């Protein structure tokens, strides 16, 4: 790729968008909207500004992560074409872009939704960039404390809609998100582990046999399936239809993931990864849809 192409506005914009890790940041916006809807009992125009503001913070945090991991990204097949290691964006420009997004998003949250929402967004960034990112270079278990990061966006949505940060329902919902993220990441590492090793990241699959890893992941999947009932208990909503849907989704995932504990079974880890993500999305959709209808 020539320098002339690199400097076109279109290529620069594409590189900046790539820094934002849209797959992750869009997931952040989904959980933020879910938190807002659960607190407000509706989805209205009030969700737009805080969700967009948190999206900006998440994008800034993702761009900062690109800057932090530019050297390891250059060693991995999956990431060596990213904007910084490929030379499409300089580290300094990526860092400035990240700073601009984080400051803008957190300030908008402060003026729109209050200090608590803004501080939660900053906490998520600090936990991701200041704790989890360096920790995953030294510990294969980093994803466990790192899972707390995904628990924060729905709390921002909840607070933006007028809920309290210590309300039991949002704490239970955040716990569900936390539990889901652990098997989500470990399944990812089962089919991308060799690439992570090229980047110098310790992989939990090197600490346990494949059979042990499969049992560990399955145990976390079972825990994830049980956790939505804590949300029902915290909210006091035990309608028959809601319980049946949540139970049905849980049985579906357990049945699909039972392949993990069959000794002779050949496991498609990417498929299992997609299944647990689909399950988590359907649980969120179910809870929000029920709240909007009651």
Q: What angle do CA 79, 193, 264 make, to 5 degrees?
A: 145
DSSP 50-79: HHHHHHHHHHHHHHHHHHHTHHHHTTSTTT
Q: Based on C-alpha coordinates, what's the Rg of the chain?
A: 20
CA distances from 256 to 56, 221, 234, 283 (A): 36, 10, 28, 16
Distance, in Å, from the CA atom of 249 to the CA atom of 225, rounded to the nearest integer, reads: 8
Mean pLDDT for 151-176 is 96
The answer, yes or no, to whether residue 12 has pLDDT greater than 90, is: no
Task: Return phi, psi of residue 209, to 5°.
Answer: -70, 165
Q: CB–CB of 55/108 below 8 Å?
A: no
Distance, in Å, from the CA atom of 129 to the CA atom of 207, rounded to the nearest integer, reads: 25
pLDDT of residue 14: 87
pLDDT of residue 5: 41
Residues 58-102 pLDDT 10s: 999 999 999 999 998 888 888 888 999 988 899 999 999 999 999
Show the tokens assigned to 265: 């079974």
The domain boundary, picked from 163, 185, 214, lies at: 163
Distance, in Å, from the CA atom of 36 to the CA atom of 31, rounded to the nearest integer, reads: 9
Q: Are residues 250 and 293 in the same domain?
A: yes
Q: CB–CB of 156/50 below 8 Å?
A: yes
pLDDT above 90 as % of the chain: 75
The answer, yes or no, to whether residue 117 has pLDDT greater than 60, is: yes
CA distances from 9 to 6, 16, 19, 88, 96 (A): 8, 11, 15, 12, 17
Q: CB–CB of 67/125 below 8 Å?
A: no
pLDDT of residue 206: 82
pLDDT of residue 231: 96
**2 pLDDT band (50/70/90 cuts)?**
very low
pLDDT of residue 186: 92
Q: Are residues 8 and 151 in the same domain?
A: yes
The answer, yes or no, to whether residue 277 has pLDDT greater than 50, is: yes
Which residue from 204, 152, 144 is spatially nearest to 179, judged by alpha carbons?
Answer: 144
Distance, in Å, from the CA atom of 174 to the CA atom of 115, rounded to the nearest integer, reads: 20
Mean pLDDT for 120-127 is 96
Show the tokens assigned to 127: 């936990």
Query: Tokens 């400035």 — which residue?
Result: 96
Query: What's the pTM value of the predicted model, to 2 decimals?
Result: 0.91
The answer, yes or no, to whether residue 169 has pLDDT greater than 50, is: yes
pLDDT of residue 7: 56
Q: Are residues 145 and 251 in the same domain?
A: no
Q: Are residues 218 and 261 in the same domain?
A: yes
The domain boundary, picked from 131, 163, 195, lies at: 163
Per the prediction, the chain carries an average pLDDT of: 91
Structural domain of 3: 1-163
Q: Are residues 142 and 4 in the same domain?
A: yes
- Helices and strands, counts by H and E, the chain: 15, 0
The domain boundary, picked from 142, 163, 184, lies at: 163
Number of domains forming the structure of the chain: 2
In sequence order, the 6+-apart residues with CB closer than 8 A to the CB of 119 are: none
**CATH number of the domain encompassing residue 79:** 1.10.357.140
Longest Cα–Cα distance in the chain:
62
Q: Are residues 192 and 285 in the same domain?
A: yes
pLDDT of residue 39: 96
Instruction: List the end-to-end C-alpha distance of the chain, in Å, as a whole number.
Output: 56
pLDDT of residue 195: 67
CA 155 to chain centre: 13
Q: Are residues 116 and 150 in the same domain?
A: yes
**257 pLDDT band (50/70/90 cuts)?**
very high
Q: Are residues 82 and 185 in the same domain?
A: no
Sign of CA dihedral 108, 111, 114, 118: positive
Q: Are residues 79 and 153 in the same domain?
A: yes
Alpha helices in 114-167 (DSSP H): 115-125, 133-135, 143-146, 148-160
């Amino acid at each position: 790729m020539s320098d002339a192409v690199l400097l076109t506005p279109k290529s620069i914009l594409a590189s900046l968008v790539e820094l934002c890790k849209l797959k992750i940041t869009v997931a952040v916006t989904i959980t933020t909207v879910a938190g807002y809807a659960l607190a407000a009992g509706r989805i209205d125009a009030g969700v737009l500004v805080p969700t967009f503001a948190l999206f900006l913070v998440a994008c800034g945090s993702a761009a900062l992560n690109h800057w932090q991991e530019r050297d390891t990204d250059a060693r991995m097949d999956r990431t060596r074409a990213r904007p910084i290691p490929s030379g499409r964006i300089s580290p300094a420009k990526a860092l400035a872009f990240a700073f601009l997004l984080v400051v803008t998003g957190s300030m908008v949250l402060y003026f729109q939704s209050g200090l608590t929402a803004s501080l939660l967004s900053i906490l998520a960034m600090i936990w991701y960039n200041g704790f989890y990112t360096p920790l995953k270079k030294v510990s294969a278990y980093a994803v466990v404390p790192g899972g707390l990061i995904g628990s924060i966006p729905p709390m921002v949505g909840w607070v933006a809609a007028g809920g309290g940060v210590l309300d039991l329902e949002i704490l239970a919902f955040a716990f569900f998100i936390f539990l889901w993220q652990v098997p989500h990441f470990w399944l990812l590492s089962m089919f991308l582990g060799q690439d992570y090793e090229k980047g110098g990241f310790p992989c939990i699959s090197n600490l346990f046999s494949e059979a042990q890893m499969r049992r560990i992941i399955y145990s976390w999947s079972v825990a994830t399936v049980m956790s939505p009932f804590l949300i029902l208990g915290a909210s006091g909503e035990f309608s028959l239809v809601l319980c049946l849907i949540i139970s049905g989704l849980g049985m579906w995932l357990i049945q699909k993931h039972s392949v993990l504990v069959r000794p002779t079974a050949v496991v498609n880890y990417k498929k299992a990864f997609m299944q647990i993500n689909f399950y988590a999305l359907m649980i969120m959709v179910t809870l929000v849809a029920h709240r909007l209808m009651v």
